[in-house]
Structure 1
Amino acid sequence: MATTNPPSDAPLRLHGETVRPEWLDYNGHMNVAYYSLVCDHAGDAVMDWLDLGAAYRARTGGTIFAVEAHVTYDRELSLGDPLVVETLALEAGPRKLRLFHRLLHAEQGYQAATNEVLLLHVDLNTRRVAPWPDEGRARIDALVEAHARLPRPPEVGRHVGAPRG
């Protein structure tokens, strides 16, 4: 599933998948690792949409590395459940991009998980963090500016912890 919404009026919906048999754990639901995998695939779709993904890497040797992530697991997913990911661009800088993904059940609409991730732009020739190219930075900045007008989900910026009680 690949659909695009204008960045000015909605989160991006660029990626969807279906829960596969190999993603199930011994409890019969989707294993925690695959929630992150689906969100990682959504991040790849966003980078492709920004023309900073696989084709950009092949052309320039520039890529992204994830350096920090926070995941919440909100509801179980089962074999065959259709998934869609909504993405907000939260923040950008000369070398970074912070994305927030909401993993949703594509038919029932409930939130199954969230994933907030910090990405850094890396020059694969030096394996060091490097500035975004000017045209890529302009696209990122436009997306972050558009998404700044959207409400922030309560999970943005959360830390690991449990309610007291």
Structure 2
Amino acid sequence: MELTGMRVLPEHIDANGHMNVGFYNVIFDQALDRFFKPFDLDWSYVKRTNLSTFVLETHVCYLQEVVEGDELRFTFQLLGHDAKRLHYFMEMHHAQKNYLAATSEQILVHVDLATRRSSPFLPEHQQFFAEMFAGHSKLPVPKQAGRSIGMGKKG
């Protein structure tokens, strides 16, 4: 799955002249909202059902700078799923120069906002994710997926 049409805005730029680290998470989250809209998991779904998704964990790799005005392209790959959770991987590319700027691996949970507890996805969403995973599981696992953080062995 691919998404285009997002751009680095002036307010995203830090004192180093590139996009601030915090805005990567914001923009990945905005991209996820756009990916979810066609399968009815956007804000209208939340308002209509009082169900939503919460990110449980995220791991961002910052690979190459983006600066004000750069147009961004995103990809989404489902790495795993169960009745309540999704494990997915997104890539942020510079749209014109086509380099990989950053990646974000995330796990989210489906939540009933009335109880603030995890809740199974609706059956139609579970079926949709099963079908998506059947296709995405044939793709190569991105090299940044599953990474842990650390400085390596000493000495």
| TM-score, normalised via structure 2 length | 0.94
Using the TM superposition, give the Cα deviation of residue 110 of structure 1 relative to its aligned residue in structure 2, in angstroms. 0.3
Which residue, out of 42, 48, 66, partners 1:59?
48
Aligned to 1:152: 141
Aligned to 1:14: 3
For the residues of structure 2 that align with 1:59 and 1:117, how far apart are their CA atoms? 25
1:15/1:45 contact within 8 Å kept: no
For the residues of structure 1 that align with 2:5 and 2:22, how far apart are their CA atoms? 17
1:67/1:120 contact within 8 Å kept: yes
Aligned to 2:76: 87
Paired letter, 1:149: K
Which residue, out of 99, 103, 106, partners 1:110?
99
Aligned to 1:41: 30
Q: Deviations over 1:67-114 (max 9, x none)?
A: 100000000111111101111011100100011000000011100000
Using the TM superposition, give the Cα deviation of residue 49 of structure 1 relative to its aligned residue in structure 2, in angstroms. 2.1
Paired letter, 1:73: Y
1:68/1:117 contact within 8 Å kept: yes
Using the TM superposition, give the Cα deviation of residue 37 of structure 1 relative to its aligned residue in structure 2, in angstroms. 1.2
1:72/1:113 contact within 8 Å kept: yes
Give the share of equivalent positions with the same residue, in percent: 37
| TM-score, normalised via structure 1 length | 0.89
Aligned to 2:122: 133
Using the TM superposition, give the Cα deviation of residue 164 of structure 1 relative to its aligned residue in structure 2, in angstroms. 5.5
1:68/1:119 contact within 8 Å kept: yes
Paired letter, 2:78: A
Q: What are the ranges of 5 or more consecutive residues in structure 2 without an aligned counterpart?
A: none
Q: What are the ranges of 5 or more consecutive residues in structure 1 without an aligned counterpart?
A: 1-11
1:90/1:100 contact within 8 Å kept: yes
For the residues of structure 2 that align with 1:62 and 1:162, how far apart are their CA atoms? 39
CA RMSD of aligned residues (A): 1.3
Aligned to 1:143: 132
Using the TM superposition, give the Cα deviation of residue 163 of structure 1 relative to its aligned residue in structure 2, in angstroms. 5.2
Off by >4 Å, runs of 4+ in structure 1: none
For the residues of structure 2 that align with 1:122 and 1:48, how far apart are their CA atoms? 17
Q: How many residues align?
A: 154
